[in-house]
Amino acid sequence: MTDAIATRVLIAGAGPAGLALAIELGSRSIPCLLIEQNDRVGYAPRAKTTHIRTREHLRRWGIADALAAASPFGCDYPSDVVFATRLGGRLLTRIPNAFNCDPAPDPRYSEHAQWIPQYLLEEVLRRHVATLPTVEVRFRHAFEGFARREDKVVSTVRDLASDTVLTVESEYLVGADGARSLVRELIGARFEGEYGLSRNYNVVFRAPGLAAAHNLGPAIMYWQVNADTPSLIGPMDSGDRWFFMPTAVKEGMRLSNEEAAALIRAATGIDLPYEILSTDEWVASQFIADRYRDGRVFLVGDACHLHPPFGGYGMNMGIADSVDLGWKLAAVLQGWGGDALLDSYQGERRPLHRQVIDEAVENHKTLGNQLYRPGIEDEGAEGDRLRAELGETIARAKRREFKSLGVVLGYCYAGSPVIAAEGTAPLPLAADYVPSARPGCVAPHAWLADGRSLYDRFGQGFTLLNFGEGLEEEAARATRDAEETGVPIEIVSIPDPALAALYEAPLALVRTDQHVAWRGSRWPGAELLHLVSGRSGEGRATLRAAG
C-alpha cells in the first residue's frame, strides 16, 4: 500500500539538527515534514554542552528560557571542570566556568552556555516544533531513498509501525540522518578523514549519595587521571544520574552491569551501589563530507561532519548548519532568495567545520591517558609536588578546550559569495574572543540602555543597523531598495557613538543568523541586496567603494 504526501521540504532525521531546521522553516511558515525512524527517547549520553551560539539561536526562537528551566541542576550550578587523581582522590587543578555557562550578563554575548543532557534539549525543541502549524513530525518513519523529478524530489518513506510505504514529494530534501547518513550515500558524497582515533566506553548510571561522597566540590565534569582507569565522570541529570567514560579502551570491550559498576568503583575509589542504566562503546573519528549539496538535496550535522566530542562542538555545529541552511531555503521558497544563496551554505559551513574538527582532534590528543604521571597518588611532600606540577601542566594544556569563546563566537564567513567582502584576510580561530564587525563575522553584541540585547532588535530577515546621526536618507534609500527587490529589511536606528565604534561603521547590514553581511557609511544601493540574497555576484568593487 502506498500513500502520497506533498510538502515543500522533507527533513530526514529529528535530532537537534533536524529539529533546528524545522524550527527555522516553520517560524517562516514554510511547510515541512520531519521524519525520524527512532523514538528519540532514553538516557543516551550524547552531547551535554549547549554552547552560547546555540542558546542565542534559541533566544531568537523564543525558547532560551525554556531550556534554562529544563536544567536539571539549575543554571547557577557551577560549570567547573575538575582534574583529580580520582573522584575520591586528590585535586590536580580546576578550570572554573568552563564554556561560559555562568548566567551573569556578559557584554560579549546575549546568552550563556548551558550544561544539559542532549535529550532534554531535544524535548525543548520538540515542544516548540509542535507549536509551528506548518511543521509535521512523524516518528517511527524511516527514509529509504529518493528520485528526482523535474523540480521535485520524490522520496520513499516507510511507516515502521504499519509497514506502510509513503511517497513524499518535496521541493528540497535535507539529510539530518546522522553519521551513517543514507542521504549522504545516495548523493554520492564521500567522507574524508580518519577512523579510529580512539575507542571509548560510555556508561550511564544511578548512584545516590555520590555527589556528597567526594571532596572536590560541584562540577560538570571530573577528569580522573590515574594509571589503571583514566576516565571522565560527572553528573548528568536529576535522580542521581551520572555518566562515566573510560578513555583507555580495548577494541571489542563489553562490560556486564556488574563489571561496569566494579570499574566505576575502582576508578573513583568510592564504594557505593552503582545501578547501571546503559552502556555502549563508541569510536572517536574525524570525517568531513567532500560536498554538502547535490541539486535539491542537502546534508546537515553529523551527516556531513564528525569529530571527537572534546570541546562539545558537534551537536552545536549541527544546529548552526541548520540555521544557515534554514533561512536560505526559506528565502528561496519565499521568492526573494537566489540559488547562489543555497550554494553559499557549503561555502560558509565547510571551512568552519574543517577548523573546528582540527580543534577537536587537538583536544583529543591530551586525555587522562596522556596526562598521568607516576607518583601523583603518593602521600607526602613529593606527591604534593608532583600533583602541583601536573596541575599547572594540565591548566596550560587543556585551557583552550574549556575556554573556547573565540572558537564559538569568533568564526567568520568572510569568503562567502553572499557577503560584501572588504578585501581583508580571514581571521583565524583563536581561543580568546575579540568581537569584530567585519562582514561575515558574528555581529558584535551589546546590552542596550533599556536592558535588552542588541540582538533582540534584529528582524527575521535582514536588519540595517543605523548607529549614526543624520543618516535618515540612507535608511530611506535602503527601505526603497528593499521594497523594489522584495528582500525583507528592518531598519533599527540607535544613535550611539559607542556602538558605531564597536562596529567601526555607522551602518551595518545584519542577516537573520546574526552575521554581518555589510558595513559602511553610505547605503550602496540595490546591488547590495542582490548580492546578499544570492541573486547577483556583481558589484563587489562598487560596494567596497560605496562603503
pLDDT at 540: 41
What would the pLDDT profile of 89-140 be if each residue is shown by its tens digit? 999 999 999 999 999 999 999 999 999 999 999 999 999 999 999 999 999 9
**Cβ-proximal residues to 131 (8 Å cutoff; 6+ apart), any chain:** none
Mean pLDDT of the chain: 93
Task: For residue 390, name the pLDDT band (cuts at 50, 70, 90).
Answer: very high
Least confident of 356-360, 383-387, 429-433: 429-433
**Cβ-proximal residues to 336 (8 Å cutoff; 6+ apart), any chain:** 485, 486, 487, 488, 533
**Cβ-proximal residues to 483 (8 Å cutoff; 6+ apart), any chain:** none
What's the CA gap between 373 and 377, in Å, rounded? 9
What would the pLDDT profile of 241-295 be if each residue is shown by its tens digit? 999 999 877 776 788 999 999 999 999 999 999 999 998 888 889 999 999 999 9
What phi and psi values does residue 541 have, to the nearest 5 degrees? -60, -40
Rg (CA), the chain: 25
Segment 486-505 shows an average pLDDT of: 97
> With 60 as the cut, is the pLDDT of residue 546 above it?
no
DSSP helix/strand/coil, 413: coil
Any idea which residue has 564559538 for its cell? Answer: 408
What's the CA gap between 73 and 69, in Å, rounded? 10
| CA-based nearest residue to 74, from 218, 267, 284, 269 | 218
pLDDT at 545: 37
Residue 306's CB: how many other CB atoms inside 10 A?
23
Residue 454 DSSP symbol: G
Cα→Cα distances 399→80, 230, 309, 504, Å: 12, 19, 16, 31
Query: 158: which 3 cell numbers?
Result: 516507510
Q: What would the CATH number be for the domain defined by 413-546?
A: 3.40.30.120
196: left (phi over 0), alpha (psi -120 to 50) or beta: left
pLDDT at 109: 98
Locate the domains of the chain by residue range. 2-69+116-189+289-362, 413-546
What would the pLDDT profile of 411-470 be if each residue is shown by its tens digit? 999 889 999 999 877 777 888 899 999 999 999 999 999 999 999 999 999 999 999 999
> With 50 as the cut, is the pLDDT of residue 547 above it?
no
Task: For residue 2, name the pLDDT band (cuts at 50, 70, 90).
Answer: low
Task: For residue 47, name the pLDDT band (cuts at 50, 70, 90).
Answer: confident
DSSP helix/strand/coil, 470: coil
What would the pLDDT profile of 158-210 be if each residue is shown by its tens digit? 999 999 999 999 999 999 999 999 999 999 999 999 998 888 889 999 999 99
Task: For residue 539, name the pLDDT band (cuts at 50, 70, 90).
Answer: very low
Check: CB of residue 16 under 8 Å from CB of residue 315: yes
Looking at the DSSP bridge assignments, the partners of residue 514 are none
Cα→Cα distances 397→70, 392, 509, Å: 33, 9, 39
Residue 381's CB: how many other CB atoms inside 10 A?
8
| CA-based nearest residue to 176, from 134, 220, 129, 233 | 129
Residue 450's CB: how many other CB atoms inside 10 A?
6
> With 60 as the cut, is the pLDDT of residue 538 above it?
no
Decide whether 2-69+116-189+289-362 matches 413-546 in CATH topology.
no
Query: 83: which 3 cell numbers?
Result: 582534574
Looking at the DSSP bridge assignments, the partners of residue 241 are 206, 237
**Cβ-proximal residues to 325 (8 Å cutoff; 6+ apart), any chain:** 21, 24, 174, 298, 300, 342, 345
Dihedral sign computed on CA atoms, order 373, 194, 301, 237: negative
What would the pLDDT profile of 14-23 be if each residue is shown by its tens digit? 999 999 999 9
| CA-based nearest residue to 516, from 422, 403, 380, 448 | 422
pLDDT at 42: 62
* b/e map 231-250, b = 16+ CB within 10 Å: bbbbbbbeeebbbbbbbbbe
- DSSP for 476-536 reads HHHHHHHHHHT--EEEEE---HHHHHHHTSSEEEE-TTSBEEEEESS---HHHHHHHTTS-
pLDDT at 43: 57
Query: 512: which 3 cell numbers?
Result: 537573520
The CATH architecture to which 2-69+116-189+289-362 belongs is 3-Layer(bba) Sandwich (3.50)
Angle CA 515–518–522, to nearest 5: 145
In the chain, the amino acid numbered 135 is V
What phi and psi values does residue 76 have, to the nearest 5 degrees? -85, -5
